[in-house]
Chains A and B, each alone.
Chain A
Amino acid sequence: MVKERKAITRRDFIRGTVSTALGLALIKPDWVQKSIAERQKNSENKSLVILVRDQNVLDDELKVNKQVLTAMVERSLLELTGKKDVKQAWLSLFSPKDVVGFVPTPMMNPTHQELVEVVKESLVAIGIPEANIRNAQGKNVDLAPITALVSLPGLKAHWLTGIGTVIKNYILYSGAPRNYHYEDSAKLGEIWHLPQVAGKTRLIIVDALRPVCDKGPQFDPRYRWPYKGLLVGTDPVALDVIGLKIIQAKRDELRGEPWPISPPPICIEAADSVYKLGHSKLENIELRKIGWDKEILV
């Protein structure tokens, strides 16, 4: 719900006054305010984002090498958690008693099925029964029994919201996704505070094996390229920020001149300044890059 009709414009983005404008424009319902208060993180710590790439994860026919992908996931978990052992790394995030919901991108540049399988196999290996690992993407998913969410979105530009990756990944939980498009895409962060969602996201792995830098979500082969990466972390805002940088750099490279994402993803700024979901400023994000660095773009 918008308190005032003060329109956020291009000029707010140039002047750096978007946060102020959003703060004035967006009303936070009581349940959002309560959730923010309960989950206020220590915002002084930087958010860690791991970028892992391997040139062999896709073959010449763009098929996934699952062994290589597994190694990428494991390396990123070790880096993210600081553990020396893969099993301990997973156990630092999940318990064998968890009921885990996966939230992949289901269609139109979907999350690679191999990535979903690798994460599932990793959770089974730490003692979570297979029956307690389920797909949780969709409008009618019963989130009540789910204790832990793993967000597995595909990295893609989105013609309506600028980027359609991490923050947008839970849009179907709102029950009314169309209420979060256009100017209301600024409110996407509030979905993360829904009682059945809040606090459950333990891990986010962004599928950047073949990201989309324009025309998303509709498939357009001209703008999908084999980046062969994963972005891993727990801060949804920071992950979208780095994903956005990658997409933006690829766009500029394709055109040979600046080609800004349009519209700018207002949801990222709002997710930080209004909904306190994470860090949107680069100085508050620590990006660790592992592996193949050719054409890394960040």
Chain B
Amino acid sequence: MPRKRGLMAPPPSFIWTRRIVLTALSVFALVPVYVMVSSSLKPLQDVTSTFRWIPSPLTVTPYRDIWYTVPLARYFLNSLIVSSAAAAASVAVAVFAAYAVSRYGFRGKRIFTTAVLSTQMFPGILFALPLFLIFVSIGNATGIPLYGSRGGLIITYLTFSLPFAIWMLTSYFESVPKALDEAALVDGCGPVRALFRVVIPAALPGIIAVTIYAFMTAWGEVLFASVMTNNTTRTLAVGLADYSTQNNVYWNQIMAASLVVSVPVVAGFLLMQRYLVAGLTSGAVK
């Protein structure tokens, strides 16, 4: 939303501060991106010797080689399955929880919201091992393989984005006028139908934003991916380390692979940033 702070044009001192500071920050933000893109286009000997600012000669072979040096396609597929399933499940669970929090008064509401948000505080390292042991025990007792399977990782990841998803969706749902779903209830809809027919369509941008956020959370997680996966279920977060062998570090391929794995989430994030700001704003105003 464009806005002017005052009525007057800002003084030159402000304009110059703005130019200098914003330029410096842009350089800081973009240099690693430039290094990634330019190095991914260099032959191997150019990334093992002194750093060169401009890549020459240019080559795209790293983009072909990344798929052969390491089973990148498999890691990519694993990450895609795990992250999509975790995001979808997280949002599905969060939609109902957020609907309850925003539309009903009930005993324990504050405790629930506080407890859910407080899980963000737990050091992952504290429950990584117990969770691993619990998954192994459940597997031994019931035969449901949670450890080493994608299912276990999906369940874990969906809870990581759940607190933020519930919090964001609650604030989105509260911006949907209550009169709308009350009207639907009067017309004879059940609460679940009112949620699906009225509230969800009205809050759709928020739901999409939260889905992308949940996807990104799962896509970038490292600790549980390194504890809970095996050779066949390994995700990108762990698999990218495979480009460093004892003899050689294929930096050009590492950069190419980093770019390939970043594209889906960066694109998603930049598409939804507007909705994310809107959600944060209504959350902050509350």
User: Is chain B found bound to chain A in the same assembly?
Assistant: no
